């Protein structure tokens, strides 16, 4: 059963170019029953949003900037979020902003048992990122959209990845997480690994490195080995991962 999500967008802080891809991403995590965007709609900088709102059934919330240098939009969005929380109409929130001012809001919503997803640009300060259960960079959605268009035009199905972007820091992070949930033989169920990676680092996403899923990302790193096992409860195979002892022998972790 899909969880009901309230999607609250900081119109002053998020570009409008990839709203379609953003809404498709949000739909993966739940049913967006409330969709609102906040900003001063009398200002020309929000004009690009106006046509997109009707296409995506997003309700604009007008908020005038009463005082120079103060962001009234943030306050309106925070007040609405608390109203929605106490209405008990949703199971989670998606906060769309790159502003660290929403850090306390994300923390408070999670304290109330809400699932909190964040979407913002890579410039988003880390305190807001770690306050969410999962944080998605909007640049990822942009790249996926551009690659899909390029693939369609070239009719090429070859995946593009950024293995060079996977540093020893990321490899050590994955390795330590595998070790945390591994059995006595060193094997860890990949689903458990993925869940723990997100708990430790909410902005960890295989798409940051050009891979659509965690399995091909892990498979691309020679430090790890993958084993597919039969699932006694169904037809799908269970994927397990462990450190490749031959490759990691002698490495300092």
> Are residues 167 and 213 both part of a single domain?
yes
- pLDDT (mean) for 24-48: 89
Residue 43 inside a domain? The answer is yes
> Are residues 167 and 116 both part of a single domain?
no
Cβ-contact 147, 197 below 8 angstroms: no
Residue 150 inside a domain? The answer is no
C-alpha separations of 99 from 96, 196, 229, 241 in Å:
9, 26, 43, 36
Residue 253 inside a domain? The answer is no
pLDDT at res. 91? 95
> Are residues 102 and 209 both part of a single domain?
no
Residue 158 inside a domain? The answer is no
- Domain with 181 in it: what CATH number? 3.30.420.610
**Least reliable range by pLDDT among 140-149, 191-200, 209-218:** 140-149
Residue 157 inside a domain? The answer is no
Q: Does the structure show a pLDDT above 60 at 40?
A: yes
Domain stops at, among 115, 144, 173:
144
> Are residues 29 and 132 both part of a single domain?
yes
Q: How many domains does the structure of the chain reveal?
A: 2
- Domain with 79 in it: what CATH number? 3.40.50.1010
**Least reliable range by pLDDT among 33-42, 55-64, 74-83, 240-249:** 240-249
Closest residue by Cα to residue 190 from 218, 169, 164: 218
- pLDDT (mean) for 65-71: 54
Q: What is the DSSP string of 30-56?
A: -EEEEEEEEE-TTSGGGHHHHHHHHHT
Give the range of the structural domain holding residue 237, as residue numbers without chain letter: 163-248
pLDDT digits (tens, 9 = 90+) for 27-38: 999 999 999 999
> Are residues 132 and 168 both part of a single domain?
no
- If DSSP codes are grouped into helix, strand and coil, which group holds residue 142? helix
> Are residues 136 and 174 both part of a single domain?
no
Domain stops at, among 144, 178, 193:
144
Is-above-0.85 flag for pTM? no
CA distance linking residue 242 with residue 178, whole number of Å? 7
> Are residues 72 and 116 both part of a single domain?
yes
CA distance linking residue 8 with residue 6, whole number of Å? 6
> Are residues 105 and 64 both part of a single domain?
yes
Residue 20 inside a domain? The answer is yes
Domain stops at, among 144, 174, 197:
144
């Amino acid at each position: 059963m899909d969880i009901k999500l309230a999607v609250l967008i900081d119109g002053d802080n998020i570009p409008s170019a990839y709203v379609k891809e953003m809404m498709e991403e949000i739909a993966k995590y739940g049913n967006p029953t409330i969709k609102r965007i906040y900003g001063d709609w009398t200002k020309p900088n929000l004009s690009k949003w106006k046509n997109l709102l009707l296409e995506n059934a997003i309700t604009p919330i007008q908020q005038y900037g009463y005082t120079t240098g103060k962001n009234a939009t943030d306050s309106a969005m925070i007040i609405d979020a608390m109203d929605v929380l106490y209405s008990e109409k949703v199971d989670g929130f998606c906060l769309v902003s790159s502003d660290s001012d929403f850090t306390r809001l994300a923390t408070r919503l999670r304290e109330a048992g809400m699932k909190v997803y964040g979407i913002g640009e890579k410039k988003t300060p880390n305190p807001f990122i770690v306050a969410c259960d999962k944080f998605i960079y909007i640049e990822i959605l942009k790249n996926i959209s551009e690659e899909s268009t390029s693939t369609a035009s070239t009719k090429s199905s070859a995946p593009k990845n950024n293995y060079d972007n996977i540093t020893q820091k990321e490899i050590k992070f994955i390795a330590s997480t595998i070790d945390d949930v591994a059995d006595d033989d060193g094997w860890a169920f990949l689903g458990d690994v993925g869940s723990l990676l997100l708990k430790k680092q909410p902005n960890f996403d295989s798409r940051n490195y050009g891979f659509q899923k965690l399995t091909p990302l892990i498979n691309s790193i020679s430090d790890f080995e993958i084993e597919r096992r039969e699932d006694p409860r169904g037809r799908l195979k269970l994927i397990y991962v462990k450190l490749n002892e031959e490759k990691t022998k002698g490495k300092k972790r």
